[in-house]
Chains A and B, each alone.
Chain A
């Protein structure tokens, strides 16, 4: 039952969607944050550690959907890893819950530099609807230094993909000449 289907899949058309366009202004902004040494070290592939700092789990559904065959995240050199110690990117969803703050800080401390911190979803951007609660610090930026914000409630897999591809592009881009004088950016956040 399974083998004929696998064989058919080998010769059939892929189910994967074409890549979405990458927002160039985001790429420029990100590239300016990244030192040349960091660019060399990160290369054209990123290992992502997802950290849920208190989401409603809507963001997790969409982050998981990124790995289905329609989006096929790994074709871009992006992959999820099981530990922050193996990660280049912390992809953080949800408001920064007070009960999660220590775990967030520990995850960041375990992530080797150079690294990116991406806050995905409206809650991660500024606390979203949970802003002002006694139980949250606010957005992810209240606890961790954030490099990239991806809004949406939850952000769709396409929106997430655009953001993550912008990180890849930023790493591929050589520093522009006109920027070189003032280009010295911190190696990490």
Chain B
């Protein structure tokens, strides 16, 4: 397993473009901290975002994982091209001839995806923890450690999304087309929703949408902004801030895990069936 990761690391780290994008991605993850610097000071209106409670534990886990997930597109480029370039350089052929099995080839890519997701999760954990410790109004250990399922959901979300990228790279063989297809797929999911809502009813349409890959991934971490308002008002009234609807549901995790397994298996199947 370590050998496969090492092989992928050599391939990625020696490519200047991949290296740049990877560094840029982690730099952007850190830049979440810059939100703290948003300050308005216009005459009588004084507004400092960091003081408005967005960095309060445990809300910060939800907020930061949600925002950080947008940056995954950067890494998506790296992952799609690390698969597609093996085709355009024909190195996939040479790798197999040199004695890498098809299973190992797909596994090495998947392990890299898991590695990227794990490092991202640890990264966002550390950045959020530091921001929280500086700005949060609550610093009790029990509060800090609550709602950590958002980090787990973030991890699963990244694995799912990157596996989708791997699969597209394998299927389409060209980075640009694969990325185009990724965007197209987002529209296709929207179209499916609209058609179903038109043919049947809204309830059925949104139920189906829950199972489509990209939507399932974005469902994992729901938007945190309305919760911020809710937290305020609820907290004011009864001092409670847990609103279950915003949480991560187990079946949503399961749906994404099933898609991940399918994407990896399909990638393997394509490689197995294809004459190179």
Chain A complexes with chain B? no
Interface residues of B (CB under 8 A from A): none
Give the B-binding residues of A (Cβ under 8 A). none
